[in-house]
Amino acid sequence: MDGNYRLMDVLNRDLQEAHGLTLAEYRILVLLSEAPDGRLRMSDLADGVLSSRSRLTHQIRRMEDEGLVLRCACAEDGRGVLAALTDEGRARLTEAAPTHVASVRRNLIDLLSKSQIKTLAQIFTKVAAAVGNR
**pTM for the full model?**
0.88
φ, ψ for residue 97 (rounded to 5)? -55, -45
Q: What share of the chain is helix, strand, coil (3-state, %, to 5)?
A: 70, 10, 20
Q: How many domains does the chain have?
A: 1
| Structural domain span for residue 63 | 2-131
| CATH number reported for the structural domain that contains residue 76 in this entry | 1.10.10.10
pLDDT in tens, 32-79: 999 989 999 888 888 888 777 788 889 999 999 999 999 988 777 766
